[in-house]
Structure 1
Amino acid sequence: MVARYLVSPHGGRRAHPDISSALRAAAARRRPARIEIAPGRYEETLTVRGEVELTAAEGPGSVVVGRTRGSALDSFGSVRVHGLTLVGREADAVGCHTGTLTLDHSEIRAHGGVALHARPHTSVTLRDSVLAHGRALFTGGTGLVERCRFTDAADNAVAVLEGARVSVRNSRIEDSRIHGLRVSDAHAEVIGCELTGTGKAALMADARARLTVADCVITAVHAEGIMFIEQSRGTVDHTRVTGARHGIGAASGADPVVRGCVLTDCRDTGINVQTEARGRFEDCQVLNSGNIAVFSTDGGAPEVHGCRVVGGNVGVAVIGGARGRFTHLVVEDLTNTALRVFDEAGAAFAHVRVERCSSGLEVRGNGGTTAEVSDAVFRDVEMAAVAIGGQSRVTLKDVTADGGVLGFGVADEAQLRVTDSTVTAVSGAGAGALGSGRLIARNLTVTGSGSLGVYGTGSAYVDLARSEFTDCATAGASFDEEAGGQVVDCAVNGTRGVAVAGNGRVDTVRLRTSLKVVRHAEKPAGPPPQIINIFNGPVFNGPVRDIQVAWGNENVVQNRGENVRNENENEADAEADTGADAETGTDAETDTDTDTDTEGNGSRS
């Protein structure tokens, strides 16, 4: 049977004048006790032992307990607190030393200390309560927090440490100076919570912790919405992060699983994986990121599946020795590049759709920089669907480029392999190689190019086989300067332009066409060449007869002069081969009358 005690500062029949005297009386009887406290402020520190319930007789907020300095309550046993306001200064406001402690409809105010400290091997439950200024600290025990509010914590609102296991549900954490919740070498779950205004990551997992997050809303944080570091693990499901610097981050060997989340208006990145971290991100949306939607760097290696990127600057960037695998990815309406792989990074893209972006895929770096793209569509990309440079190596299989200036381009010493791919309705060229770049294409189809099907310039090497070029306005294939290679078992169809405009260095074998093959290319009639400046990529100086594209140059100066040719020399030029099948032709050198000077080092991304 529970013994009942009354406390009233104004006295009364059988009433104790303070709470401590009632506690002493209950301890002497060694029975379960219920202490009912009349409204008032009690300047005392409570030490509660045994099975005791402390309740505000006239409801929450009517009883305030605490001294000017020190703790308000220390619990040893099985203690329940209902409706009290507990105030601590320069010490733990409430401490659970042994046993269990339950607080409901209560308030804890900690001025310069810990609001609640649950020590090892204890169990603490908070329900429908408020913690102000201080933090709830769980070290080695268990905890359950339901429908609570944490406000203005001087550091972390909730800290789960040293093997503790804590569940926080349907609660609100606001304006913490550091983290909303930090779990370190422990296990925490955060379900159905709202976190806002934290100084650093709203949710932080470190030191091999496990963090489970579901159905949460995180807004207006100064750093990451959710951060996993130091080999921590966990899951994040159906959570929305808005207005963070980084939406969800992983670093230093962490490996979270993130599913069905929405990351909106992040000031820098939506998903950020670095320093040997991994992570799997499924069915997420990253909307309007300020810099990069999905970022992998410094050895990071995420897997991204079924995600959608809309709006913002750059879609996916894999740089600095990082890796990444991206499948069933949709990228739309970016002001910059959809996919970027730089500086010894490697990425694989499969089942990808890119629409209405400034450029599609950019790859640049040394020979360790690689990208594989399969079953992808680049539609309405303003500049190039694919542009690679440096010494990078890229393979494309079953890739479609529809619209824009250039389909697939390779420059510097890079190598591009294209298989079973299609380019339609580009204004410049379907595919091109320049510098010392190598373009190897099998079963490439280019239709409706505003100028060229494929071209090579500089000292590039172009190897075409079993490819088809239809309705290209100027030429199906064009080669100038020192470009070499071969065109084998290809077809050029349509009624415009020429089949091949050559330079004498490219062999044509079993070419099927009804158009002429120009051994010594003539400048086609028409308006002056168009010059297009594309930043953040390799330099593309396209065929001088029709289009020039410069990557990474802030200033392009074109100097055009009349190239006076002797009429007798014109008459001496070799006639082009015509007919349905022109076999084993070797093109002569192509003339040019346009010089292009480029200046500048390229713009900042």
Structure 2
Amino acid sequence: MAARYLVSPRGGRRAYPDITSALRAAEARGRAALIEIAPGHYEEALTVRGEIRLAAAEGPGSVLVSRPRGAVLDAFGAVSVHGLTLAGRDAAVDIVGCHTGTLTLDRTEIRAHDGVAVHGRPHTSVTLRDSVVLYGRTVFTGSAGLIERCRFTDAANNAIAAIEGARVTVRGSRIEGSRIHGLRVCDAQAEIVGCEVTGTGQAAVVADTRGELAVTECAISATHAEGILFIEQSRGSVDRTTVTDALHGIVTKSGAGPVVRGSVFADCRDTGINVQDAGLGTFENCRVTHARNVAVFSTKGGAPEVRDCLVSGGNVGIAVTEGGRGRFARIGVEDLAGTALRVYDEASAAFEDVRVERCPAGLEARGNGGTTAEVTGAVFRDISLGAVAIDGQSRVTLRNVTAERGVMGFAVSGEAMLQVTDSEVAGVSGGGFAALGSGRLVARNITVTGSEGLGAFGTGSAYVDITDGTFTDCAVAASFDEKAAGRLVDCVVNGTSGVAVRHNGLVDLVSLRTSLPVVRHKEKPAAPPQIVQVLNNPVFNGPVFNGPVHDVQLAWNNGHVVQQQTEGDGTHP
């Protein structure tokens, strides 16, 4: 049974006038002790050794222990504190420090106006329950830590830091107003469960330098930077967590690769999911809503895998740029103000089973020959501009892709290459398949139904190669203008009105099946031939030429010449 000591500045029978004297008496006896402290303000520095429990006799908030300089409590042994308020202002020391053994702070308030509020040193164990930490940071250095139902307010630095091999668990707590991070894990392990983190100056929770961080069922909001940040080869997980009103919902970079499941990133001021600078990460069953710039962003060597996720509202859906990579499967993108899928500048992306609805643009690809995208099993529906548009020298492959309603189906321009297989376009107002500029379009087993304009067309010096294409109820099934070339092989044009093919003579029509007319553009009239008139040549009875002359009409020894040009059928133009 623990020995009991009473501390009261008013004195009394067997009462000690201060806490320090009671501690000395308990240490002298060398056994477990309970020190009950009467209400009051005690200006002391407490050094606690052995198995000691310090308790406020009349409950939390009734006892204040403080010092203007130096530590307030140093623990050596098995120490517990219940209901005290511990306050200090010295940035050079730990206000509360556990040097050996274990320290438990229960229903305790720690005020550290500068520096460290609580410090668990190497090989110790510190527990905080139902406690409040104001202004200072709580640090675990190579120690074990357990935090339950606590509040950390207005830390001038990080609210909680786990470093140098520490192992920390934070449950059911609230972290608010930290000037830097809410929780930082560096070369250590930490899990944060069922917590609220809000109003941090930098990333709300961060893992760096091979740290391991698990975030579960947390709510993170109103942070000035990232909601969650994984960097420097850190690892971990994020499960069933919501991030709201952060600059970036979650960022991974420099080799970090968390697994993120069932989480929501809402109303982010820039990006929702951001993977950059060789960052990694797996994202499953997540939602990104109303990201102001980009919902899912991979850039500068980032390489995420994103599966079974939904993007809704906001500006751009998924953007892979500047050498970024990414694999995206079973993704829904809807109701954006901008482009659903974007692949730019030497980026590479693979999209599988993607559904895009009610966006101005579907997929955009632009960049040099290192810019590639593969799309398999996608549906683009109600895209107000174009389902797929690629430019530059980029290369895109589409397999089993459907575009329904909108202006344009699939278009390629610049010097880009678009390959399409087993795909269809329906109900567009402008065109189904298009190649412009010097773009190249190769399509196999495609269908275009109900285009109010063109089924397929080429302009400029583009090349269009379509095999096994079916065009139904299009105003013009295929059109080739300017110097556009190509071929239509084993194609079928169905309908009761319109034109099957309108071409410029540079297109091979192989086994075209249709009852509709095939029209060749009317050639521009040739320039009128040059007229050479030689009158009264004194040397030769005819004209003299000093070089080759073509397409001329000649007349000589005539005082008057009249030329009339006719069409090929002999009629006048």
TM-score, length-scaled by structure 1: 0.86
1:23 corresponds in structure 2 to 23
Contact kept in structure 2, 1:424 and 1:449, CA below 8 Å: yes
What secondary structure is seen at the aligned counterpart in 2 of 1:387? strand
In structure 1, distance between residues paired with 2:137 and 2:464: 66
Q: Which position in structure 2 is the counterpart of 1:109?
A: 111
What SS class does the counterpart of residue 144 from structure 1 fall into? Answer: strand
Q: Could you tell me which residue of structure 2 aligns to residue 483 of structure 1? A: 484
Inter-CA distance 55–400: structure 2 relative to 1 (3 Å threshold): same
Query: 2:160 aligns to what?
Result: 158
Q: Work out the percentage of aligned pairs sharing the same amino acid.
A: 69
Q: Which residue is 1:583 aligned to?
A: none
What is residue 426 of structure 2 aligned with on the other side? 424
Q: Which residues in structure 2 correspond to 1:114-133 (within 5 Å)?
A: 114-133=116-135
CA contact (8 A) 1:428 1:452 kept: yes
- The one-letter code matched in structure 2 to 1:256 is P
- Look at both structures and tell me which one has the larger radius of gyration over its CA atoms: 2
The runs of at least 4 consecutive aligned structure 1 residues that moved more than 6 Å come to 570-573
Distance 2:219 2:345 in 1: 36
1:52 alignment counterpart: 52
Superposed counterparts of 1:5-16, under 5 Å: 5-16=5-16
Amino acid at match of 1:40: G
Give the deviation of 1:68 after TM superposition: 1.5
Which letter maps to 2:192? V
- Which position in structure 1 is the counterpart of 2:512? 511
Contact 1:71 1:87 in 2 (8 A): no
CA contact (8 A) 1:88 1:94 kept: no
Inter-partner Cα distance in structure 2 for 1:255 and 1:307: 18
Aligned position for 2:217: 215
Letter in 2 for 1:482: K
Pairs within 5 Å for 1:68-87? 68-87=68-87
Partner of 2:280: 278
What is the CA deviation profile of residues 266-325 of structure 1, one whole-angstrom value per residue up to 9, with x for unaligned ones? 000000000111100000000000000000000000000000000000000000001000
**Paired residue type of 2:403:** A
Instruction: Give the deviation of 1:26 after TM superposition.
Output: 0.4
In structure 2, the residue matched to 1:355 is 357
Paired residues of 1:395 and 1:418 also in contact (CA < 8 A): yes
CA distance in 2, matches of 1:522, 1:225: 64
State how far apart, in whole Å, the 1-side matches of 2:522 and 2:455 are: 15
What's the offset of the Cα at 1:66? Answer: 1.2
CA distance in 1, matches of 2:384, 2:63: 68
Aligned with 1:24: secondary structure? helix
Distance in 1 separating the partners of 2:281 and 2:565: 68
- The aligned amino acid for 2:140 is F
Contact 1:502 1:521 in 2 (8 A): no
Aligned 8 A contact 1:297 1:321 in 2:
yes
Gaps of 5+ in 2: 525-563
Partner of 2:189: 187
Q: Which residue matches 2:39?
A: 39
CA 1:572–1:128 in 2, change beyond 3 Å: closer, same or farther?
farther
Separation in 1 of the partners of 2:471 and 2:289? Answer: 38
Q: Identify if the C-alpha distance between structure 1 residues 63 and 572 changes in structure 2 by more than 3 Å, giving closer, same or farther.
A: farther
Task: Tell me which amino acid in the other structure corresponds to 2:498.
Answer: G
Instruction: Identify the match of residue 306 of structure 1 among 272, 294, 308.
Output: 308
User: What do the CA deviations read for 1:484-521 (whole angstroms, capped 9, x no partner)?
Assistant: 11100001111221100000100000000010000225
SS in 2 for 1:294: strand
Q: What residue in structure 1 maps to residue 385 of structure 2?
A: 383
- SS of alignment partner, residue 115 of structure 1: strand
Distance 1:521 1:189 in 2: 75
Q: Secondary structure at the match of 2:24?
A: helix
Choose the corresponding residue for 2:317, options 304, 307, 315: 315
| Deviation (angstroms), 1:416 | 0.3
Aligned residue number for residue 294 of structure 2? 292
Structure 1 range deviating more: 306-315 or 488-497:
488-497
Structure 2 residue aligned with 1:537: none
SS in 1 for 2:27: helix
For normalisation by structure 2, the TM-score amounts to 0.91
Using CA pairs below 8 Å that are at least 6 residues apart, which structure has the higher relative contact order? 1
Distance 1:394 1:155 in 2: 48
Structure 1 residues 226 and 521: alpha-carbon distance in aligned structure 2, compared to 1, 3 A threshold:
farther
**What does 1:573-584 correspond to in 2, within 5 Å?**
none
CA distance in 2, matches of 1:402, 1:62: 71
Assess if the C-alpha contact under 8 Å between 1:209 and 1:233 holds in 2. yes
Between the aligned partners of 1:362 and 1:519, the Cα distance in structure 2 is 33
Q: Specify the code of the residue in structure 2 equivalent to 1:380.
A: D
Q: Distance in 1 between matches of 2:407 and 2:49?
A: 79
Unmatched 5+ residue regions in structure 1?
524-565, 574-605
Change (3 A) 1:223 1:567: farther
Cα distance change, pair 332–570 in 1 and its aligned pair in 2 (3 A): farther
Q: Which residue of 1 aligns with 2:495?
A: 494
Aligned to 2:466: 464
Which amino acid is 1:433 matched to? Answer: A
Matched ranges for 1:220-369 at <5 A: 220-369=222-371
Between 208-217 and 86-95, report the one with greater CA deviation. 86-95
CA contact (8 A) 1:88 1:113 kept: no
Give the CA RMSD over aligned residues: 1.5
